[in-house]
Amino acid sequence: MAFPDHLLQKLQDLQNEFPALVNQTVRFGENVSIQPTTTELEPKKRPERLMGPSAKIQVRLSPIHGYGIFAVTDIDQDELIEESLLLELGLRNRLISDPVIKDYIFIKSNPEEVHEYGSKVLLGLGYLGIYNHQDEPNAAKKFDFLHNIGRIYARRPILAGEEIVITYGKQYFRNRKIFYGLSQQVQQLILKTDENEKI
């Protein structure tokens, strides 16, 4: 597939702005958390019940961004804060171009399928999509991809009133900026193509 010159120029501009991108693969919407997403905690069979969001947390306006999750009472280190479903969507990540939804999805990669079809896309239910990012998080996300369950644990003691934050990954905001720039260019190209076909 040949790309139009203006998209190639945009890619070159992004590579100039972010030299670390040269000869690198950039994945959008991928789970690139510092904390590994492990299967160590996966139960042998599907759990009968999920905890959902703990009674110790609530959604409030956040000084970080929009809304966030806050501790209502003190939370102990390693305490389970939330256990909710990850809803597997029908689309693969290659087919999702909406930049808003890209901020709220998690990726389930199967190496045998990812190059041909793209990664599977999961939408976190409960409060999973509301936790804000910090480089030094006080909570960690762990996913059981066998059963599509997301869990949030306290990495350290969390005090009542404190915002509970996770990390989206070291490269998340850089990749997000690149994706938004390319997404806007592709959408403009599609609109121009549609207009030309109508003529």
Could you give phi then psi for residue 32, rounded to 5 degrees?
-115, 40
Instruction: Tell me the mean pLDDT in the region 166-176.
Output: 72
Specify the residue for token string 């990012």: 133
- Residue 23 within a domain: no
- Residue 185 within a domain: no
Cα–Cα distance between 125 and 128 in angstroms, integer?
6
Range of the domain at 91: 29-170
Q: For residue 164, what are its two tokens? A: 């509970």
| Minimum mean pLDDT range among 15-19, 45-49, 156-160 | 15-19
Could you give phi then psi for residue 56, rounded to 5 degrees?
-85, 0
Q: For residue 166, what are its two tokens? A: 């996770």
> Would the CA dihedral through 177, 179, 184, 185 be positive or negative?
positive
pLDDT-derived band at 32 (thresholds 50, 70, 90) equals very low
- Residue 53 within a domain: yes
What is the share, in percent, of the chain residues with pLDDT greater than 90?
36
pLDDT-derived band at 37 (thresholds 50, 70, 90) equals very low
Do residues 138 and 158 touch, judged by C-beta distance below 8 A? yes
What CATH number did the domain enclosing 124 receive?
2.170.270.10
- Residue 3 within a domain: no
The count of structural domains within the chain is 1
- Residue 126 within a domain: yes
Pairing of strands 80-92, 52-53: antiparallel
Do residues 158 and 75 touch, judged by C-beta distance below 8 A? yes
pLDDT-derived band at 184 (thresholds 50, 70, 90) equals low
Cα–Cα distances (Å) from 108 to 72, 121, 150, 191, in that order, read 32, 6, 12, 31
- Residue 49 within a domain: yes
How many C-beta atoms surround the C-beta of residue 108 within 10 A? 18
Cα–Cα distance between 51 and 64 in angstroms, integer?
27
Tell me the pLDDT tens digit for each residue of 43-99: 568 889 999 999 999 999 999 989 999 999 999 999 999 999 998 887 765 556 666
Q: Which of 127, 140, 149 is closest to 56 using CA atoms?
A: 127
CB-side neighbour CA atoms (13 Å) of 128: 23
- Residue 197 within a domain: no
- Residue 16 within a domain: no
Reduce the DSSP state of residue 91 to 3 states and report it: strand
